[in-house]
Amino acid sequence: MLLEIPRPNIREFDFLVVGSGVAGLFTALHLTEHGKVAVITKDRLTESNTEYAQGGIAVALQEDDDPRDHEHDTLEAGAGLCDPEAVRILTVEGPDAVRELMRLGMRFDRRGGELIYGREAAHGRRRILHASGDETGHEVERALSRRASVHPGIEVFENTLLTDLLVVEGRSVGIAALSLPESDRLRFIAPVTVLATGGLGQVYETSTNPPVTTGDGMAAAWRAGCGLRDMEFVQFHPTALYDEGSPKFLISEALRREGAVLRNTAGEHFMPPYHPQNDLAPRDVVARAVVDQMRRERTDHVYLDFSPIPHERFLSRFPGIVAELARRGFDIYQERIPVCPVAHYMMGGITADINARTELPGLLAVGECTSLGVHGANRLASNSLLDGLVFGLRAAALAPKLPKLSYELLGVVAQMTPALVRCAQVAVRDHLRKLMKECAGVERNGEALAQAREVVSGWCGQVATVPSASREEVETANLLTVARLIIEGAIARQESRGAHYRTDFPEISED
């Protein structure tokens, strides 16, 4: 089928950045001194996982802190699968990256003019910067999107959905996209494309992630022949608000650090037998303990008891959570809040090196869509925004040095037949999300994973390639791709490590 794309729908830039969370916008802003940048994002500029981040930014910025201690904590959390060089870079380059973020307008919480450092689970000391208590991600997006939206070197394309990477002679030359909601076909051409498309929380029935997180960049990179790795490592957050029928909402683990405790329906504080750190045990341990309690009590939630936290402290430290709970009709002064574990963060993703370079020449990847070795089998709290900053800067330093597109190659690109769009029936989506929660969730086992593989393969077989499709159809096809990769990874990893727990292989393998 030969389809013409009208010339105005083909745009050329020096750099394409796909995605507008912390990694995408930080990279884009630092590319502007080297050329014309397009920021392409499928929703509003500010809609991303970053916007909803309640944790902060972990960074060894204080004089008496040492990046080596931050490195140690990160490696511990990663359960043997971190790339030590990537972690060294994250922690050593973190302070400069955070100073640069502040130069761009980020306002962290301060007392008497001095930055306030908080402590979160598994960090050996206070080193987490927050903004407005629990609204760090919102402030990051505010600061960066404000600059990006008025920067003369950046053109922003909102409501523009990546459908595929354009690959010619073994290198990335840009992307194919759809403008929404019309689903008009677009093509963006550039010698360097930076994927910053974020996570895939929507592949699970319940997640802290917003609806945009459908693994689009990971799926497109996979189709273009890039390697993806560590896809079995999905972090489940133990305490999302359980509010039947409504989107899940993260109840930050910082609340437990302030004194909140988990209780079962019988009112028992159940964590002590599971781990010496009780409610502050690593996230995966708490998530499994909650699942265990829910199984024993045949319920789908447990409770968070905030009563140990002084009300003044609760209001000043967690204004966003207080407001959202009130909006949903919960009275934090009178009742315990129902919570349950949900998908939160993808540690795996597009394989990339310490400069964000993927296996496809001309393609870089930063932020949650990539796996460059900093998170291993489990991400340390508040390391994800830092990851986006540090490796965003590295990507922006490398991109201008990559080869330009030759005239010959541009000629080939201009002649290219537009790629067809992959689409799946939207009706499959809810079934897929339930299946993933049941078979590839907090606990997995070989038998359930094998069944899930069969079902998902069947759905993948029904994916059609068509000239155009709706956002939901394209996203559903992408969700099927990343679901298959998670399942394959979980089947192959016959051990329990970090966030990946196999009931049939409950121990860590020494091999």
Q: Which residues are catalytic?
A: 283
Q: What is each CA distance from 469 to 33, 200, 221, in whole angstroms?
A: 36, 20, 19
In the complex, least distance from residue 321 CB atom to ligand SIN, rounded to whole angstroms = 10
The two beta strands, 37-40 and 15-18, are parallel
For ligand SIN, the closer of residues 37 and 121 by Cβ is 121
Q: Are 38 and 341 in contact (CB under 8 A)?
A: no
Site string for ligand SIN, 336-375 (x = CB under 6 A): ----------------------------------------
Site string for ligand SIN, 115-154 (x = CB under 6 A): ----------------------------------------
In the complex, least distance from residue 50 CB atom to ligand SIN, rounded to whole angstroms = 11
| CA–CA distance, 426 with 463 (Å, rounded to integer) | 11
Q: Are 71 and 78 in contact (CB under 8 A)?
A: no
- What single-letter DSSP state applies at residue 388? H
Q: What are phi and psi of 111, to 5 degrees?
A: -130, 125
For ligand SIN, the closer of residues 197 and 252 by Cβ is 252
User: How far out from the chain centre does Cα 23 lie?
Assistant: 10
Stretch (H or E) spanning 439: helix 428-439
Interface with ligand SIN (CB under 6 A), residue from 20, 50, 54, 358: 54
For ligand SIN, the closer of residues 127 and 185 by Cβ is 127
Which of positions 55-74 make contact with ligand SIN (CB under 6 A)? 55
Which of positions 237-256 make contact with ligand SIN (CB under 6 A)? 252-254
If binding is defined by CB under 6 A, does position 382 make contact with ligand SIN?
yes
For ligand SIN, the closer of residues 222 and 236 by Cβ is 236
| CA–CA distance, 105 with 117 (Å, rounded to integer) | 19
If binding is defined by CB under 6 A, does position 381 make contact with ligand SIN?
yes
If binding is defined by CB under 6 A, does position 172 make contact with ligand SIN?
no
In the complex, least distance from residue 379 CB atom to ligand SIN, rounded to whole angstroms = 7
Amino acid at 165: L
For ligand SIN, the closer of residues 148 and 261 by Cβ is 261
| CA–CA distance, 446 with 487 (Å, rounded to integer) | 10
Q: Tell which residue, 320, 309, 315, 301, has the closest CA to residue 256.
A: 309
For ligand SIN, the closer of residues 381 and 448 by Cβ is 381
In the complex, least distance from residue 123 CB atom to ligand SIN, rounded to whole angstroms = 10
For tokens 């967690």, the residue is 318
**Residue at shortest CB range from ligand SIN:** 55
For ligand SIN, the closer of residues 18 and 339 by Cβ is 339
| CA–CA distance, 89 with 391 (Å, rounded to integer) | 9
Give the binding range for ligand SIN (CB under 6 A) out of 196-204, 309-317, 381-389, 412-420.
381-389
Max Cα distance, the chain (Å)? 71
**Which residues touch 363 (CB under 8 Å, ≥6 apart)?**
165, 172, 192, 193, 195, 221, 224, 226
Number of shown-chain residues binding ligand SIN (CB under 6 A): 8
For ligand SIN, the closer of residues 124 and 411 by Cβ is 124
| CA–CA distance, 351 with 408 (Å, rounded to integer) | 29
Two tokens, residue 440? 């590839």
In the complex, least distance from residue 262 CB atom to ligand SIN, rounded to whole angstroms = 13
Q: CA-based angle 17:59:148, to the nearest 5?
A: 25
In the complex, least distance from residue 237 CB atom to ligand SIN, rounded to whole angstroms = 6
Q: Are 64 and 234 in contact (CB under 8 A)?
A: no
Q: Tell which residue, 160, 176, 157, 177, has the closest CA to residue 168.
A: 176
Site string for ligand SIN, 252-291 (x = CB under 6 A): xxx-------------------------------------
Q: Are 241 and 248 in contact (CB under 8 A)?
A: yes
In the complex, least distance from residue 383 CB atom to ligand SIN, rounded to whole angstroms = 7
For ligand SIN, the closer of residues 91 and 382 by Cβ is 382
The two beta strands, 184-189 and 10-12, are parallel
DSSP characters over 281-327: S-HHHHHHHHHHHHHHHT-S-EEEE-TTS-HHHHHHH-HHHHHHHHH
Q: Which residues bind ligand SIN (CB under 6 A)?
A: 54-55, 252-254, 381-382, 384
